[in-house]
């Protein structure tokens, strides 16, 4: 069952700016809270610093456990190595709030695939908070000791022909074993008895965008059937630089596009759109044994949309 929720707000002040932020007061039985952030790397420009500050301030109140970083932490050509200065200008110096010294669980985006993808994985050996277990991986977390939530991170660029065929700009994409990843995804979803199942990738399955439709049809052909077969509750992604919540008739999965953490783009409704916005920002996810809450937050710290799934 899906319903729109009314958000109870707590008011906190950012001492440096004097700005008042309205932080959602989560349910008392909330057991896990995390952020979704992606399309970040603009060297602090546009809205990146503002979004990072709001993320830190909210984390002081929400007991955030980790950040799911869904690709394109680095624009535009990825990184060259683990010592590339972009690690400082795109990431370390921007997300420096004490409350953001959390585990960051990343995946690769298309821009990382333009550079040294292995360096993104190897940065786990450099940074205490960058925890990338592989190009794709999963975590099953206890919600209340009995029920659990399965979180799955997938590597979407190698699942899309556009990137696999462009060996000059995306040299590592075609080197990845697409069939092995899809087999792993099916085994992971099939083998889990978690009450909640959430899959996260960089590229959307459904979204309004001026990017090639073939990107989404490849995802619909290769990933969507597995989500439907194994009862995945939510698919979350980035890439489009907009907020979108889409629920297609006849499909039990909610599709979330998380906005860019730095630079938003225009967007319009499509079939199944419940909400869309061109603003930059991030998403808060909170889970309890029978509720999943989602909050879209913009660079001003405003909660511009929220929804829940119950089970």
* Residues annotated within a binding site for Fe cation: 39, 72, 110, 202, 239, 241
Q: Is 189 exposed, middle or buried (0-12, 13-18, 19+ CB in 10 A)?
A: buried
Q: Which residue has tokens 């394109």?
A: 72
Count of other CB atoms within 10 angstroms of residue 49: 17
Taking only Cα atoms into account, the Rg of the chain, rounded to an integer number of angstroms, comes to 18
Q: Is the peptide bond prior to 144 cis by the omega test (within 30 degrees of 0)?
A: no
E-assigned strand segments in 15-165: 20-24, 32-37, 66-69, 104-106, 137-142, 148-153
Spatial separation of the C-alpha atoms in residues 255 and 253, rounded to whole Å: 6
Task: Say how far apart CA 145 and CA 141 lie, in whole Å.
Answer: 9
What 8-state DSSP symbol labels residue 242?
S
Q: Are strands 137-142 and 148-153 parallel, antiparallel or unpaired?
A: antiparallel
CB 207 within 8 A of CB 244: yes
Positions at the binding site: 39, 72, 110, 202, 239, 241
- Strands annotated E in 144-278: 148-153, 196-200, 234-237, 243-246, 254-257, 273-277
Contact 291/308 with Cβ under 8 angstroms?
yes
């Amino acid at each position: 069952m899906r319903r729109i929720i009314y958000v109870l707000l707590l008011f906190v002040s950012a001492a440096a700016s004097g700005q008042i932020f309205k932080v959602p007061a989560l349910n008392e039985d909330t057991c896990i809270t995390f952020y979704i952030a992606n399309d970040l790397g603009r060297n602090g420009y546009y809205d990146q610093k503002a979004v990072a500050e709001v993320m830190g301030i909210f984390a002081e109140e929400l007991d955030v456990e980790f950040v799911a970083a869904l690709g394109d932490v680095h624009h535009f050509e990825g990184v060259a190595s683990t010592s590339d200065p972009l690690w400082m200008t795109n990431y370390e110096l921007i997300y420096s709030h004490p409350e953001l010294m959390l585990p960051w669980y990343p995946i690769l985006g298309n821009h990382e695939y333009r550079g040294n993808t292995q360096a993104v994985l190897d940065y786990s050996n450099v940074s205490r908070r960058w925890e990338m277990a592989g190009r794709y991986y999963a975590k099953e977390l206890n919600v209340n000791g009995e029920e659990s939530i399965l979180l799955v991170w997938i590597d979407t660029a190698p699942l899309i022909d556009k990137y696999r065929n462009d060996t000059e700009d995306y040299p590592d994409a075609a080197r990845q074993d697409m069939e092995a990843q899809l087999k792993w995804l099916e085994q992971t979803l099939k083998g889990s008895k978690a009450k909640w199942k959430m899959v996260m990738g960089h590229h959307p399955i459904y979204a309004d965008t001026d990017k090639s439709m073939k990107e989404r049809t490849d995802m619909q052909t290769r990933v969507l059937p597995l989500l439907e077969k194994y009862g995945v509750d939510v698919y979350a992604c980035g890439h489009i630089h907009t907020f979108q919540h889409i629920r297609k008739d006849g499909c039990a999965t909610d599709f979330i596009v998380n906005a860019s953490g730095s630079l938003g783009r225009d967007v319009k409704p499509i079939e199944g759109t419940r909400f869309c916005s061109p603003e930059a920002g991030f998403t808060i996810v909170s889970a309890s044994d029978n509720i999943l809450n989602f909050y879209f937050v913009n660079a001003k710290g405003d909660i511009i949309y929220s929804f829940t799934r119950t089970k």
